[in-house]
Amino acid sequence: MKTTLSIIKADVGGFPGHATVHPDLIKNAEEELHAAKKSGEIKDYFVARCGDDLDLIMTHDKGVDDKKIHELAWNTFISCTEIAKKLKLYGAGQDLLSDTFSGNVKGLGPGSAEMQFEERKSEPILCFLMDKTEPGAFNLPIYKMFGDPFNSAGLVIDSNMHHGFTFEIYDIVENKKVLLNTPEETYDLLALIGGKSRYVIKRIYPREGSPVPKSEAVACISTDKLSKIAGTYVGKDDPVAMVRCQSGLPAVGEALEPWAFPHLVSGWMRGSHNGPLMPCSMEDATPSRFDGPPRVVALGFQIANGTLGRPFDFFKDKAYDRTRNKAIKIADYMRAHGPFEPHRLPSEDMEYTTLPAVMKKLENRFKEI
What are the residue numbers of the active site? 11, 233, 236
The footprint of ligand F6R on this chain (CB under 6 A) covers a number of residues equal to 9
270 binds ligand F6R (CB under 6 A): yes
335 binds ligand F6R (CB under 6 A): no
Strands 219-221 and 199-206, how do they pair? antiparallel
Binding mask 230-259 for ligand F6R (x = CB under 6 A): -----xx-----------------------
18 binds ligand F6R (CB under 6 A): yes
Angle CA(84)–CA(90)–CA(93) in degrees, nearest 5? 55
269 binds ligand F6R (CB under 6 A): yes
Q: How far apart are CA 332 and CA 328, in angstroms?
A: 6
Q: How far apart are CA 165 and CA 150, in angstroms?
A: 16
Residue 164's binding partner out of Mg ion, ligand F6R, none, with CB under 5 to 8 Å set by partner kind: none
Residue 53's binding partner out of ligand F6R, Mg ion, none, with CB under 5 to 8 Å set by partner kind: Mg ion
Length of the chain: 369
95 binds Mg ion (CB under 5 A): no
331 binds ligand F6R (CB under 6 A): no
Q: Nearest-CA neighbor of 166 among 111, 223, 213, 114?
A: 213
Count Cα atoms within 13 angstroms, Cβ side, for 122: 10
Q: How far apart are CA 71 and CA 41, in angstroms?
A: 11
Q: Do residues 224 and 236 make contact, with C-beta atoms less than 8 angstroms apart?
A: no
Q: Quote the least distance from Cβ 289 to ligand F6R, whole Å.
A: 11
Q: Quote the least distance from Cβ 291 to ligand F6R, whole Å.
A: 4
Q: Quote the least distance from Cβ 290 to ligand F6R, whole Å.
A: 8
Binding mask 36-55 for Mg ion (x = CB under 5 A): ---------------xxx--
Q: Nearest-CA neighbor of 54 among 86, 15, 87?
A: 15
Q: Do residues 152 and 250 make contact, with C-beta atoms less than 8 angstroms apart?
A: yes
Q: How far apart are CA 179 and CA 72, in angstroms?
A: 32
The footprint of Mg ion on this chain (CB under 5 A) covers a number of residues equal to 9
Please, which of residues 56-115 interact with ligand F6R by CB under 6 A?
none
Residue 291's binding partner out of ligand F6R, Mg ion, none, with CB under 5 to 8 Å set by partner kind: ligand F6R
What residue ranges bind ligand F6R (CB under 6 A)?
17-18, 132, 235-236, 269-271, 291
